[in-house]
A and B are shown apart, each in its own frame.
Chain A
Amino acid sequence: DAGVIQSPRHEVTEMGQEVTLRCKPISGHNSLFWYRQTMMRGLELLIYFNNNVPIDDSGMPEDRFSAKMPNASFSTLKIQPSEPRDSAVYFCASSLGEDQPQHFGDGTRLSIL
């Protein structure tokens, strides 16, 4: 059974470029979460969806960040324009409900030069 699939695994790009991170949740899961992890700030929830609808985006740092979930099997997190302080590991997770065990992808390690 495939787990949560994220792509790309690594992304290195220059400041100012648009970055798109992708996530395929586990089939049948109706909650999807985007997190950012850094040494300084730990694991931060950016946004989560229930049944493809954004529920809480209060963790999205600023307007440069946007997330979409056009259908139950795909979500994107976009940063435009990117800045060096956006460098982090970004995780996608899915679950059967908001407070149920979450299944994490292996993350996208993003470096903005």
Chain B
Amino acid sequence: SQQGEEDPQALSIQEGENATMNCSYKTSINNLQWYRQNSGRGLVHLILIRSNEREKHSGRLRVTLDTSKKSSSLLITASRAADTASYFCAYSGSARQLTFGSGTQLTVLP
């Protein structure tokens, strides 16, 4: 299945800094979602943004969606060591089931 592309593949920052991850896709979408995966665990849903929304917040998370550029970004503010994980975008398009991106590995250094 055609995956979304995420960049960067890996990101290393200091605790307290902001982390930004980007996701690009190739089809029209119904919604786009972000997930986190801690090492050795399953993915955990973080936030969903619909195609008619441009920005959404949840705690320290901010997601933007630009359907004209077919891209989304996830911003984690004031990062913590516990935010260290892989982050995946997933979108629902013409194939209603989700298509997952390749992920960004975030490391937050204490």
Contacts and interface: CB of A to CB of B under 8 A. Distances in A.
Given A43-B88, A44-B1, A45-B1, A102 B45 contact: yes
Nearest to B1: A45
Contacts, number: 55
Contacts of B102: 42
A98 B48 contact: no
Interface residues of B, number: 24
Given A42-B100, A56-B97, A93-B42, A99 B1 contact: no
A104 B44 contact: yes
B42 A105 contact: yes
A44 B102 CA distance: 10
Interface string A20-56: 0000000000010100000000111100100000011
A4 interface: yes
A59 B98 CA distance: 13
Nearest to B88: A43
Contacts of A56: 95, 97
Contacts of A78: none
25 contacts: A42-B100, A42-B102, A42-B103, A43-B88, A43-B100, A45-B97, A45-B98, A45-B100, A56-B97, A91-B43, A93-B43, A98-B92, A98-B96, A99-B30, A99-B98, A101-B33, A101-B48, A102-B35, A102-B90, A102-B98, A104-B42, A105-B42, A106-B42, A107-B41, A107-B42
10 A-B pairs with the lowest CB-CB distances in the bound complex, closest first: A104-B42, A99-B92, A101-B45, A98-B96, A104-B43, A98-B97, A43-B100, A42-B102, A106-B42, A99-B96
Interface of B: 1, 3, 30-31, 33, 35, 40-45, 48, 88, 90, 92, 95-100, 102-103
